[in-house]
Each structure stands twice: as structure tokens, then as C-alpha cells.
Structure 1
């Protein structure tokens, strides 16, 4: 909260102009305080929200993410070595240390239990995230990403994801849209959509293929016929929702920050492909 400008403005306004001057000075001071707050937020990566972070709630969010991940994996039937490997890949993406991996593995095993209280755990996720839309969206997208890590989603996994979405406050249509975006992200990655490939001598730029371009549009959630203004608006909205600093400031566990960064980079790469192909800035 910034108020120093208001105090000075009102004081000097009253000193030189009486009550009317005080009112004018208060208004000028308010504009000054507001500009200062916006500038600090831009420079500090949403640092003004850091007071809302609760470490205990972050740990609960972290455990819930892996337990629900285990439950989604179990939906196929018997959890195979493949599913366990995919969970380990997710842990590697988060750069978890030995103790964090142990906690994540225990939570994953709990989620595989036939008596796992899915709705109860998801209800706690809503509470510990402060019912913040962007944090709950990250949780949902994390489950989708883990389920889709092998390139497809089993019908039973889809059913569980619908429960996850419902309890977290997302409609079936919103879930299907995110499933489509995740499928597009997988296609984008498989088709070299990150802009190039590594070859003995270094990183080489590739030409954009039609598959990459189609996937990029789907990641942004726009049609190929969309006007540049609409594409830019969709991109900005997605980046605002997935900004790692913003998510971290609102309570995202630090272990998951790398995944958030990857998601933001994925959106950026898709936008760059579309922007280059369409020729706008």
C-alpha cells in the first residue's frame, strides 16, 4: 500500500491553497502513489503479492498434485512401470531433491489407493490455493500434462480429469479446451515446434511446417483465420494466466516453478511461430 504521496500532496496543497488545494494535492498524490505501485510491480515480478504465500499450504498443494497424479494414472487399471517412469520424469522437470522426491513418491502411491478421497483432496486444493483461478488452473493443467505425457489420454483418465475440473470449478467445455491445447503442445513439440533441432555442430533453425503452425494456433486457442489483434489478445491472456512470477507470488510451490516456466515458454514459442508465419509484430 502506497500513501506517502497522498499525505505530502494534501499537506502542501492545504498549505498553499487551503481546503481546495488540499483536495487537489490529495488527487495528485494518489496518482503518484499509483504510478509507483505499478512500476514496482513491473520491476519486481509481482513481488507485492509475496505476503500471501503460506509455506504449509504450498507443501499441501505439492502433495495433492502428486497424489491426484497417482490417482489419474491408476484410472487406466494397474499402474505400470511406464506410468511410474512418467511420474519420475515430472519430478525431474521440477528438479526435486532426494527428500522432495520421497514426499512426491509417497503422495503418488497414496493416490493409487482404491480408497483415495479424490473429491476431499481437491476440495483442500481449492482452499489452500485461496480459490485463485490461475493456481487451480495450473493444478488442472499439471494433471493433464502428466496424463498426456505418453501422447494420449485413456478414457478412464479423461473421466477422472472431468471430476478434477468439476471440483476445481471448471466446466466440461473448459476442460476439453485445455485437453485440446495439451494435445497441440505435444504435437508442437514432436514436430520440432520449439524452433529448431540440435545437430552435432549446434542448434539449427528449422522451417515452420504446417503441423507446427496448426499446433501453434491450437495452443493459443485461436483459429487459423483469426486476425492479428485477436491472436495478440489470446497470447497476452494466456501469458498473464501462466506468468511464473505471478503464480509463485500467489502461492505456487517453488518446486513447480520450472514447470510453470516451461508452460510460459511453450506459449511464447507458439506465438512466435504464428507471428513469424503471419508477418506481424
Structure 2
């Protein structure tokens, strides 16, 4: 049974009048969290597109980069997307339901935020409305400002990307603390860890962007500190 068939079954199980956010409540105990993760990315992506005011071809392509959607499965993906866009429930309801679904395990929430950033940057422009939307989602997930900035730094080409933001450490942190943060982030990006967190196989490639940013930040900090002591 494909993931899209399982998604269709989950959507069909909603009773009349239930919001799409109820799916996340129903899937809290599901052994296969990849279904919930996929629905969450599409649903919040749809809400973000609505906040932005338009859905571009690049954003549609970005969805297909996050998830391998065969032509026969596109109607199911479109159904989730349209349900979310038309749902009277706000994205805050979705985000809070997703937070409850994962409980204390916030690693999948980071993965989800990265998927949303990937979609937001698909057209090459990071819109203020998208930043506001993603910041509010991060707040609902319980992320502090540092974690939000760290995830954003992996995707948004700011005028000057702070490598310490990427690693989530202070610029004054000792080198052993910086090294520990770098190693932890690299370890969390291992495919086995991502699979254990319930990411669909197709979405694991999103971690490549994280790993590149993390390694570049480590290399930059290492070179800067070596030059300071030379």
C-alpha cells in the first residue's frame, strides 16, 4: 500500500465537519508517522501559499522535490493541498495539533520546518509574509528565536550568513562547544536517524541542504579561529 493510499484513507476517515487538523490528532499513535509528516508538510505548505497569496510553478515543483509524487498519486496530493487551503481552521490550529502529535520529540518538527523553508525558497525569493508565517509556526512548535534563526540560515541567503547561527551556538563559545554542536547536527542528519523520526524516504534528501550548511559553518569558524591564533 503506497503512502498516498494511506493518506487517502486518513483523509476519508474524517467525519463531516471535522477540520483537516483532526487528522494529526488521529495519527498521534500511528506506527507509520511518515503519513502524518507528509500530510503536515502539504497542509502547512498550502497555508503558507495562501498567506503568500499565490502558488507558483516553482512551489509546485518544490513539493515534488520533497515527495516523489507519481502522476497517478497527484490527485491525492492535490486533495490534501486543496483541503488545507479551503479549511476554515487557521494554520495555528494545524501547527499546535502537529506539535501535540509528536509530543516531546521535536526533531521531526525541525525536519518539517526545513521542508517548509525549501518550499518557501523555491521561487528564489523569501517573502516577508513567508517569514512571518514560518516564525509563527516555529512559535507554535515551541522553538526559540535561536532555533528558528538556525534553520532559516540553512536556506535563506542573507547578506551575511552567521556560521554561529547555523550551528546554534554563541560566537564566544569555546571551540569544544562549537565542535560538539557541529557533531550533534551531523549525527542528527544521518539517514538512519531521519528514517527513525518517520520521514518519508523521498523527504530525507532535504537533509542534504542542512548537512552542507552545517559543514560550511564549521569550516568557516575553524578557519577564522585558526587565523586569530596564527
TM-score class, shorter-chain normalisation, is 0.5 to 0.7
* Alignment correspondent of 2:215: 268
> How far has the Cα of 1:85 moved from its partner?
1.9
Query: SS at 2:86's partner residue?
Result: coil
Output the TM-score relative to the length of structure 2.
0.68
> How far has the Cα of 1:236 moved from its partner?
1.6
Structure 1: segments with no counterpart, 5+ residues: 1-51, 189-210
Larger radius of gyration: 1
| Residue correspondence of structure 1 range 48-197 to structure 2 within 5 A | 54-55=31-32, 57-77=33-53, 79-80=54-55, 82=56, 84-113=57-86, 115-183=88-156, 186=157
> How far has the Cα of 1:130 moved from its partner?
4.2
Contact 1:244 1:264 (C-alpha < 8 Å) held by counterparts:
no
Query: 1: CA distance between counterparts of 2:76 and 2:216?
Result: 33
Output the TM-score relative to the length of structure 1.
0.57
The higher-RCO structure (CA 8 Å, 6+ apart) is: 2
Structure 2: segments with no counterpart, 5+ residues: 1-28
How many residues are matched? 199
Q: Deviations over 1:234-266 (max 9, x none)?
A: 212322443332121132222311212442344
